[in-house]
Each structure stands twice: as C-alpha cells, then as structure tokens.
Amino acid sequence: MRTLMYLSLISIRVAGHAVMYEPPVRQSGGMAILAPGCPGGSCLWFNQGCSIGCPRCTGKGNVVGPADCAHPDKPTIAFSDHKLRTWDLARGPLGDWTATHPWRKPGSAPVEEPCGLACGWYTKGTAGNGGEPPPGVPCGTKGSELPPLFKKTVWIAGSTVEVAWAIYANHGGGYQYRLCPAGGKITEQCFQKTPLEFVGDTQWIQFGDGLDVNNRTEIPAVRVSEGTVPAGSTWTRNPIPACGTPVSGGALNTPCIGYQFSPPLPGIGGFGGGACASGVAIGCSPAQFKKRSFQWGVVDKVKVPQLPPGDYVLGFRWESEQTPQVWQSCGDVTIKSTGTPTTPFMSYEGCEACCAAKPTGVCANCTKCLDDKTGDCGYCWKPLKGYDPGFYPRATCLGHEGPSGGMGKWRPGDKMIAGWSPGCPKCWKEAEECKHLGQDVVV
C-alpha cells in the first residue's frame, strides 16, 4: 500500500536535473546561480520519453509505465546486478519497472537532441515529465544550436584532464563524456564516434560548490563497458544514491530514510535540491532547500584522444534509471598538440546573458534600458519567464546586480533576496565580448 501511495504521487511530476560544469556548458549562459548542479538553469535541458530499443523519444512517459514503443530492447544491465543498478534494487509489487529506462542498456536509448532540449521537449512537460523552461529560453530550444561560451578551455592531445558534473535532482543511472568536431552538425552519431576513455578506477567528490580542488575525497568508480553503445565504450555509474523511498527516491521532500545503495561517503546521498521543486513537494522551506541541495560535484579523469588540433564540442550524457529521460549538456574545448592547457575548476562568471545573441543572450537587448523601465524596457526589469519553484531569487536582466555592477551573489542557505541579475552594467562597460553590440553604455 505504501509503495502504491508513492506511485500515485510520483506520477504527478518529477523534475530531475544534472549538468556537466567542468568545462562549463553553453546552456549556463555564463551564469553561476544554482551552481554547481544547475548554473543558470543549465540542468533543464534533456530528452523526455526515451526508452531502450525505441526508434525515437516521444516527449511523454511517467516514472512507472510502459515503454514508449511496442518492442523495446531487453536490458543489458540485469535486474540482479546490484553493482551497476541504482534504483529499487529489490523486486517489489511493481516488478522490474526500470527495465526499459535508459541506464539499463547504456547509450542505446534514442535522443531527440544531442545537447538536450530546453524543457526536455518542444512544450512544457505534462504531469510526470518534469519539463520546465530555463529562465528566458523557450521550450524546445536546441542545445546544439547555442553559441559557445566566451571562456576557452584548452586541452592537450594525449593528456589526462579532469571533468565534472553535479546533480540538482537525482535519478540514479550513469554517464559518459564524448567529443564531436565543432563547425559541423552536432549529432548523437557524431558523439558516438569519440567516447572519452575514463582514466583509473577512482573518482572524487569535490566540495566548495564543486570547485575546491583542495577539498576533495577519492572514491571507487563503478564502470561498465559490456552491453553498451557504442559497443565496448565505457560508462560510469552515478555514485550518488537517492533516498531509499520506494519509487520516488525522496523526490517529494519526504524524509530521507536510507538510500538506494551505499553512499560513497557519509552523508553524500539523497535526491538533491530538486526534492523541493517536484511540483508536489511536501512542506519545503528555504532551509530545507539548503539541506537538500548538493554543494559538491563528481570529478573524473579522462584521456584526451590524439585528434587533429582544433575546436571540439564536449558532450555529457547522463542516463536515468528512475525515469525514461536522458540528460545532456554541451561545452567546448580546443585541442592542441602542444602547449599549456587551461586550469580546470576556475570560477566562471561570463557575460553571455548580456552580450551574446539569443537564446543565451537573454539580456543583450537591454543596453538602452539602464534608466528606463517603460515600454519594451519593462522586460529588462521584470523576472524572466521560466522555472520558478520559489526557493531561490528570480532572475531579472537589470536591477539586482552586485555592488560593482557585476553578477549578483546568492547560494542556497543565503537570505532570500528580491532578485538576481547577471551583471550586465559591468559587462557592457568592460567586456571585450560586448563591443559588438555597438551601444554607448554609461554606468
């Protein structure tokens, strides 16, 4: 009876999210709020309704339910494989209900968009889909069509580099990093040609909003390369267990009693801040949002292939086990044959929201509105439309900058403030990347 109660609740809405943050992704628009698990709303780009063996995603699909096609594949991660499985490991009255979800055959589920769609589909998610629009970005926007960030990440061919991702709402499963040459069409097939090789059998939980390289703890990595797509490619199990609650895993802000599997470190587990944003969260408060939020990331080492020097798109693909969803985000790297690489985990506060073309440049049309709140300028002073669970400040283009006119500061646990702004006055005055706007901005 208790399991069925959770099933009826979870079918209302589950909003699960995660994102690569090292290197930073295009979807962040250079914004740091909600880092590391969802900087600038970057965790809201994914593919909804994706089941193994089905020809395409559908945009539909609840947590528990039939596959999205008549003849799904059989899983290659067996129900009994408790080393690789991450959700409801003991067979209950619902049976093996994750069997057709993406993680059960890594890399095989179809995707609609290889860098994720805003909202997960072309429309806002219906009950059970968890699809909400990022601030200022329409549903259905394709992540592969976003421009690169102003920040340049340089890797040296043949070297070992560090990459990282963080969770806003935990769906178990596992992940892979892949490369595709920039300048051409970014496709899933392109990414599948160059999956990156993980180095070693350990990874790290890194603290300090995921950026403090001096505050990390090594943990064993669980990897799989059998029954994967592309054949023989290596995937890594998500090391963070969700809460032990049947089906929901803590998505509804219910007490986190136990975990789906053993945590890698004491206290490193749970559903994440998304537990307060499922649409039916139970009694959440700002203090609980702070407690639920993960202010750490998961770091892996990968080998840079011996590729021709040039620009590449780095894709991150996280496959859910709890839901029929694939979460994807894309960043950019320049590969050189020799030279000095950039330093990872440097805090980045870019000016993309203020200076880039839309859809990432959601505030680039506000250069003449510093002292004007009327007419079209009203948009620049009002909260941007999009995801708003009520536990962090709404983003506005203007009006809530930091003391220097730069990006506002706020993190879970800080006192709630009226709003948050990406720092356009400072960007327009100082950033080289803003000069193409051709505006005489006085601040």
Tokens of 249: 């895993």
pLDDT at 438: 54
> What is the C-alpha to C-alpha distance for residues 268 and 217, in angstroms, rounded to an integer?
11
Where do the structural domains in the chain lie, given as residue ranges? 2-336, 350-443
pLDDT at 4: 41
Please write the tens of the pLDDT for every residue from 158-214: 999 999 999 999 999 999 999 999 999 999 999 999 999 999 999 999 999 999 999
pLDDT at 10: 44
What is the number of other CB atoms lying within 10 angstroms of the CB of residue 374? Answer: 8
> What is the C-alpha to C-alpha distance for residues 78 and 99, in angstroms, rounded to an integer?
8
Tokens of 88: 């409801």
Mean pLDDT of the 278-288 span: 70
DSSP 296-323: -EEEEEEEPP-PPSEEEEEEEEEE-SSS
Mean pLDDT of the 299-305 span: 98
What does each C-alpha distance from 119 to 32, 75, 140, 380, 422 come to in angstroms?
A: 20, 27, 7, 23, 22
Report the candidate in 28, 66, 63 with the shortest Cα–Cα distance to residue 48: 63
Please write the tens of the pLDDT for every residue from 222-263: 999 999 999 999 999 999 999 998 888 998 888 888 999 999
pLDDT range class, residue 12, cuts 50, 70, 90: very low
pLDDT range class, residue 329, cuts 50, 70, 90: very high
Mean pLDDT of the 308-329 span: 97
Mean pLDDT of the 269-280 span: 81
**Over the chain, what is the mean pLDDT?**
91
Please write the tens of the pLDDT for every residue from 346-395: 999 999 999 998 888 999 999 999 999 999 999 999 999 988 877 889 99
pLDDT of residue 7 exceeding 60, the answer is no
pLDDT at 229: 98
pLDDT of residue 441 exceeding 50, the answer is no
pLDDT at 128: 54
pLDDT of residue 283 exceeding 80, the answer is no
pLDDT range class, residue 279, cuts 50, 70, 90: low
Q: What percent of the chain has pLDDT over 90?
A: 74
Please answer whether residues 301 and 199 qualify as being in contact, where contact means their C-beta atoms are separated by less than 8 angstroms. Answer: yes
